[in-house]
Every structure is written in C-alpha cells, then in structure tokens.
Amino acid sequence: MDISDSQLLVKRPVTIKAIVTPRWKEEAQQQLQKQIDQLDSQLQQLEMQGQRMIAEVQKQSVQPPGPQVQQQIESIKSQLNQEKSKRLEQKNQILQQLQQVQVLEQEQEVSQGQIESFVYLKKGDNLLQKMQVEVLLRDGEVVDIRGEV
C-alpha cells in the first residue's frame, strides 16, 4: 500500500464493551469466583509458610528464646500480616465486583477494557471522531463497531 505524504498512521485506543446477557453474567461470575478461590488458597499457603518459618526459627534457637529470636518471630509475623492484608484487600475488591455483576441488568452495556488499532489521518479529518471507536460484543461476538473505522 502506498502512503502519500499527506497521510499519517496513528495508534488509537478502541473501547471494548459487552452487552450483559445471562451467559456473560455467568462467565463473569465464574471468573471472579476463580480469582477469589485463588486468593483463598494463597492466604492458606501464607499461613502455613509463616507457621513453618516461625517453627524453624524456634527450633534453631536456644531455650528459652532470647530477645533476638522473639524479634525475628515478630518480624516474620509482621511480614505475614502485611501479605495477608494485601490478599484480603484484593479479595474484598473482587467480592465488590461480584456484587456489581449480580445487579447488572440484561442488555446493559458494560466496559470490558481497551485494545489498540491503527488509523490513517489526513488533512481535513476530525481527530476526535477518528480516535473514538468502540466495539460492542454480545457473548463474545462483535455486534457493532461504533465510530470511524
């Protein structure tokens, strides 16, 4: 394809939207539930790792444990609690998303994210119109492309 000097190829964002259907809702809920299950598993692993690390420190120390050992144990507990807090915060955010998905109405349009595409610009084009493009999906199938292709 020959590109003349009066054209410019630019990258633009393309908004992806989905129409809420029973299938979309079910898939979204399953995906969110899977993320929640992964976080629950990570929380259990963190707890077990923390207990093992503390047991190892206690096993290697002299009895009764001195202040240095107690400080090590407290440091491990502190790091463990920070990691658990991060995971719990993520879990709460996902639970909120799950609630939001459950109250969405059928046929409502929801944003799914963005991809990028390229478009040629030439003299006289309306830049805003060229940059505003949406792809509308119903159960994964493109049903509409809005804006200048």
Spatial neighbors of 2 by CB under 8 A, at least 6 apart, are none
Q: How confident is the model at residue 136 (pLDDT cuts 50, 70, 90)?
A: very high
pLDDT digits (tens, 9 = 90+) for 65-94: 678 888 888 998 999 999 999 999 999 999
**For residue 21, what are its two tokens?**
């259907």
pLDDT tens by residue, 18-53? 999 999 999 999 999 999 999 999 999 999 999 999
At 61 the three-state DSSP class reads coil
Kindly report the pTM of this predicted structure: 0.73
Strands (DSSP E) contained in the chain are 7-19, 109-122, 133-138, 141-146
Strands 141-146 and 109-122: unpaired
| Mean model confidence pLDDT for the chain | 91
